Structure 1
Amino acid sequence: MGTTSGVVWGRAEQQDFRSRVRGTLLGVGLGDALGAPVDGLGLDAIRAAHGPEGIADLAPAHGRPGGITHLTQLTLFTVDGLIRAQVRRDTGAWHPPTDLHRAYLRWAATQRDWGPDERREDDGWLAREEWLYARREPTRALLGGFGDTVMGTPETPKNPGETGPEAAARSAPFGLLVGWEPQLVVQLAVECAAQSHGHPSAWLAAGAYAVIVHGLARGDALDAAVQKALALLAVRPGHEPVSDALQHALGAVRQGMPGPARVAELAGRGAAEGVLAVAVYCALVGEDVRHGLCLAVNQSGPSGAAGALTGGLLGALHGETALPPAWLAELEGRPTLLVLADDFAMEMTQGPALHGPTGSSPGWLARYPRGAGAA
């Protein structure tokens, strides 16, 4: 058995954790890919294109069925940044928001460069994945937030008026830090969200989402995980929009058959707290992963973000085996997602054996260098 971050890992616990990590990351990708072809379309337009039930299967987006967007790209770089933060801790430098910011700058390079730059030795393996060098409709807030090397913080955030759901939609990996205390998970997600989305409701939605995933990854039921998130939000200034949205989602579960009208009501204007409410509701009422994801994306708002958030919840709750195999077979970047998921699980469960003051694996440090690695 190994131990890290105060968690003792037996073989069964390691296998369960790896399944939940894989489920979370693949779930984000599947939800993103399902919503991508209909993102921003009105419900009538979705039905006109995909039939009276709306979109019910992966359809072409960005040139192929299962094509992902910037939301999955950024989720991958969130995982990369978290692993790099753990590795850099050996040097005595321990400030995860900085390591995440550097990871997001590496993502920004994929949006402007033709391909990997082999001269940047500190980039690590993920930034050398050529398929990631594709611009997948990133929002202005993301390109602006990571358009220079200045790091936004909750005190001096980037884009202070930005309320969109994109920061929340890249925040599932923070919840997979199962050895961390919940309030620290919230704080890290908040600090990293403020690097691109500066409105308190956007960064608090990211913190709430991360800590809900955290509860699920630790084995909580979804409603219990949401209640914990509400308790942690209650002490933070400006929490009311996010708390009210989560309470609305919980209440909607008892209000008749789920359908597009209920989802539209929860989504509201498509701000972060509304899309988070959609995800919680769809994960609670979905009969299975496929049903929950289809419910989330058949709406007139940000379907990709709603799908990504819902997929992260369902994947953390049920693990990898609950995800639709036919969809997984078509998911763009699935090999990269799986490698990164397994590396994250290994770092969290066996990190001291991979790197530390007394010795390190050269292969691991080549994949996740200790250097600054800024783009």
Structure 2
Amino acid sequence: MDSTAATAHPYPATFASRVQGSLMGGALGDSLGYLVEFDSLAAIRARYGMAGLLDLSQAEGPVHFSDDTQMTLYTVDGMVEALEWANEGVGADANACLWLAYLRWLATQREPAPAHAPVPLPRWIDAQQTLHHRRHPGKACLSGLASGEMGTQARPVNPDSKGCGTVMRSAPFGLVPHIPAEAAYKLSSDAASLTHGHPSARQSSGAFSLLIHAIAVQGLDLRAAAAAARERAAAERKADPDLLRRLDAALQLSVSPLLAPEAMTAALGEGWVAEEALAIGLYAVLATAAAATSPVEHFLSAVRVAVNHDGDSDSTGSIAGNILGAYYGEDALPQAWLALSEAPALVRAMGAELLRVTGSEG
């Protein structure tokens, strides 16, 4: 699937708006879900009513995003560094740049790297104090990076881990224009191997990035992009059966009446592992599309579905937000939520950096 030339998009928005919309949409979905990340559905309903958590204004204090957005922004920075080298005519290992970026994120979490690990040169993002707060970082992300080894598919760290820490940070790979969809998939799955060795973690991450690329770069509609991601996942030499099963369920169930949260988690899981988080975020987007009358209404409806369940609500919320921001651009972002959000200027600055190095500011 070659995406070097985008088709007419079902929803009009500039590519720059899609990049900014995807990054900020992910941060907003993450922020809503982070309010209830470790709460059961029963606890969510006891606190917010039977409808669940509906709005960022229901936060009892300042709104924060989680490690999901932190790592997404460091993914952007790793890609920016690799592209800066490329723009200067210097071939750089993109995955090495991402590894160094994630090691710099590790340092913000006050986690030491072993003596044999490289010491990355600091970059602008490292001085942003918002990113130095510890927001329940994933255990596999921490342990994989703290090993000091650059994990690869052939030499995995955390070989049995398929946590959603790969998927939730991987939207930026799909936001790089002028590359084929397959390149976005490979960049993403290779970077997943830096912390998670299980095939589902790599393949789920790759499928998610390809989905974002299909929407933002190729101009496919939501369901066509989802089908393309499922097709690519199935094309793996050893396709992970759990990933295919969850994607199939999300696609099939999303054409029926909206499921109750209990039924959604029974069918798709709780989102703590990669394929479940991807399936829940995707289902939430597809299942709410028909009833939505505007981009903002679609965003709100989907993110609410994505976070109100037993499970990893911030990751599933961020995935849904990434998808809809890529589709509608900044038109999807609720202005009231932006006013409450944490460090929107930082998120936008990182989006601007990605647009700059890809020559896509206009």
**Given the two structures, how large is their TM-score scaled by the length of structure 1?**
0.85
Q: Aligned equivalents of 1:87 and 1:70: distance in 2?
A: 25
Q: Aligned equivalents of 1:256 and 1:6: distance in 2?
A: 36
User: Do the aligned partners of 1:266 and 1:278 also contact (CA within 8 Å) in 2?
Assistant: no
Q: Does 1:80 align with 2:77?
A: yes
Q: Does 1:277 align with 2:279?
A: yes
Q: Aligned equivalents of 1:305 and 1:255: distance in 2?
A: 24
CA deviation digits over 1:254-285, x for unaligned, max 9?
A: 23233313421243253211111111111112
1:209 — aligned with what?
208
User: Do the aligned partners of 2:28 and 2:318 also contact (CA within 8 Å) in 1?
Assistant: yes
Once the two structures are overlaid, the 10-residue window that deviates more, 218-227 or 294-303, is 218-227
Q: Does 1:69 align with 2:66?
A: yes
CA deviation digits over 1:195-254, x for unaligned, max 9?
A: 111111111110000000001102211111112112222221133221221111010012
1:133 offset after TM fit, Å? 1.1
SS of 1:349 mapped into structure 2: coil
Matched to 1:232, the amino acid is: R
Distance 1:127-1:92 versus aligned 2 partners, 3 A rule:
same
Pairwise mapping of residues 148-159 of structure 1 onto structure 2 (< 5 A)? Answer: 148-159=147-158
Q: Aligned equivalents of 1:261 and 1:121: distance in 2?
A: 45
How many residue pairs match? The answer is 338
Pairwise mapping of residues 214-293 of structure 1 onto structure 2 (< 5 A)? Answer: 214-218=213-217, 219-236=219-236, 237-270=238-271, 271-286=273-288, 287=292, 288-293=298-303
2:116 — aligned with what?
none
Pairwise mapping of residues 121-132 of structure 1 onto structure 2 (< 5 A)? Answer: 122-132=121-131
Matched to 1:126, the amino acid is: I
Once the two structures are overlaid, the 10-residue window that deviates more, 190-199 or 87-96, is 87-96
1:122 offset after TM fit, Å? 3.2
Q: Aligned equivalents of 2:162 and 2:267: distance in 1?
A: 15
Q: Does 1:56 align with 2:54?
A: yes
Structure 2: tracts of 5 or more residues without a match: 7-11, 113-118, 293-297
> How many percent identity over aligned positions?
35
Matched to 2:319, the amino acid is: L
Q: Aligned equivalents of 1:350 and 1:310: distance in 2?
A: 24
Of the candidates 324, 334, 348, which is equivalent to residue 344 of structure 2? Answer: 334
CA RMSD of aligned residues (A): 2.4
1:350 offset after TM fit, Å? 5.6
Q: Aligned equivalents of 2:79 and 2:5: distance in 1?
A: 17
1:113 offset after TM fit, Å? 7.4
Matched to 1:175, the amino acid is: G
1:15 offset after TM fit, Å? 7.0
1:308 — aligned with what?
318
Of the candidates 295, 313, 320, which is equivalent to residue 305 of structure 2? Answer: 295
Distance 1:235-1:342 versus aligned 2 partners, 3 A rule:
same
Distance 1:266-1:59 versus aligned 2 partners, 3 A rule:
farther
Q: Aligned equivalents of 1:238 and 1:121: distance in 2?
A: 35
User: Do the aligned partners of 2:250 and 2:268 also contact (CA within 8 Å) in 1?
Assistant: no
**Given the two structures, how large is their TM-score scaled by the length of structure 2?**
0.88
User: Do the aligned partners of 1:22 and 1:319 also contact (CA within 8 Å) in 2?
Assistant: yes
Distance 1:326-1:285 versus aligned 2 partners, 3 A rule:
same
2:115 — aligned with what?
none
1:148 offset after TM fit, Å? 3.9
CA deviation digits over 1:310-361, x for unaligned, max 9?
A: 110011011112111111111112110011111211221269xxxxxxxxxx
Q: Which runs of 4+ in 1 moved over 4 A?
A: 5-8
Q: Aligned equivalents of 1:146 and 1:321: distance in 2?
A: 36
CA deviation digits over 1:148-190, x for unaligned, max 9?
A: 4311111111111112111100000000012111111111100
1:35 offset after TM fit, Å? 0.4
Q: Aligned equivalents of 2:5 and 2:356: distance in 1?
A: 13
User: Do the aligned partners of 2:13 and 2:329 also contact (CA within 8 Å) in 1?
Assistant: no
User: Do the aligned partners of 1:113 and 1:133 also contact (CA within 8 Å) in 2?
Assistant: no
1:101 — aligned with what?
99
Q: Aligned equivalents of 1:224 and 1:292: distance in 2?
A: 18
1:121 offset after TM fit, Å? 9.2
1:365 — aligned with what?
none
Structure 1: tracts of 5 or more residues without a match: 9-13, 115-119, 352-375
Matched to 1:332, the amino acid is: E
SS of 1:65 mapped into structure 2: coil
Matched to 1:339, the amino acid is: A
Of the candidates 30, 33, 54, which is equivalent to residue 31 of structure 2? Answer: 33
Q: Aligned equivalents of 1:261 and 1:216: distance in 2?
A: 29
SS of 1:123 mapped into structure 2: coil
User: Do the aligned partners of 1:37 and 1:60 also contact (CA within 8 Å) in 2?
Assistant: no
1:58 offset after TM fit, Å? 1.4
CA deviation digits over 1:36-80, x for unaligned, max 9?
A: 11112111100011111110111677x843201100000000001
1:43 — aligned with what?
41
Q: Aligned equivalents of 1:111 and 1:293: distance in 2?
A: 27
User: Do the aligned partners of 1:71 and 1:170 also contact (CA within 8 Å) in 2?
Assistant: yes
2:184 — aligned with what?
185
Q: Aligned equivalents of 1:15 and 1:216: distance in 2?
A: 11
Distance 1:212-1:169 versus aligned 2 partners, 3 A rule:
same
